Amino acid sequence: MTVKIGVLALQGAVSEHMDALTDSGAQAVAVKHIDELNDLDGLVLPGGESTTMRRLMDRTGLFEAIKSFAASKAIFGTCAGLILMAQKIEGRQGPHLGLLDIDVKRNAFGRQVDSFEAQLKIEHVADDFDGVFIRAPYIKSVGPDVEILSTYDGHIVACRQEHFLTCAFHPELTGDTRFHRYFVHLVMENK
């Protein structure tokens, strides 16, 4: 069975996610318009800048369309995508999509460490995953239905809740497709 997975293509690391999905056996599609969501089995919300991405989502109608899509389809949000999926964002009134019962802090690792790499253990995925963090958020707390998949320095950096997957780092930038394969598997299970 081949699944068809979209990558929100308004901003950010789009082609890298598409390559990782293709390498993981999925058919990858760039999503810029609402009609492109129609026959998808899952969607990736890439990194970038969450407030800019939200503005572009509002302008294209994709914000409401993705909210409806999320009712039954799997979504994987990375970095800014994680912020878009969170129900609570520190310092912000109200969420964006509000799909995941998590409380997040933006740019959480501090200005001094703009970006860094760290070896991560990710539940169901790998014991030695190279996590690339770029102005990354972290997850301060999760609700009871959320499974924590990875922590770094005492902070939650990846988790799953039902058909939603998220991480604070950039798995598309390393050439290691194991996390994308896990998402593809989740999309198949959910189909």
Ligand X SMILES: NC(=O)CC[C@H](N)C(=O)O
In the annotated binding site, the residues are 48-50, 106, 134-135
Residue appearing with tokens 């390393």 = 174
Question: In terms of Cα–Cα distance, which of 157, 151, 184, 181 is closest to 169?
Answer: 157
Identify which of residues 92 and 181 has a Cβ nearer to ligand X in the complex: 92
- E-assigned strand segments in the chain: 4-8, 27-31, 42-45, 74-78, 86-89, 100-105, 115-122, 126-134, 138-142, 147-152, 155-161, 164-167
Residue number, 42 or 48, with CB nearest to ligand X: 48
Output 135 or 191, the one with its CB closest to ligand X.
135
Which has the closest alpha carbon to 43: 23, 25, 26, 61? 26
Q: Which residues bind ligand X (CB under 6 A)?
A: 47-50, 79-80, 83, 106-107, 134-135
- Residue of 79, 96, 167, 180 with catalytic role: 79
- 79 annotated active-site: yes
Give the three-class secondary structure for 54: helix
Binding site members for L-glutamine: 48-50, 106, 134-135
Number of Cβ within a 10 Å radius of residue 19 = 15
| Comparison of 80 and 184: residue with beta carbon closer to ligand X | 80
β-pair partners for 165: 76, 160
Find the catalytic residue in 17, 159, 167, 172: 172
- Give me the active site residues, please: 79, 170, 172
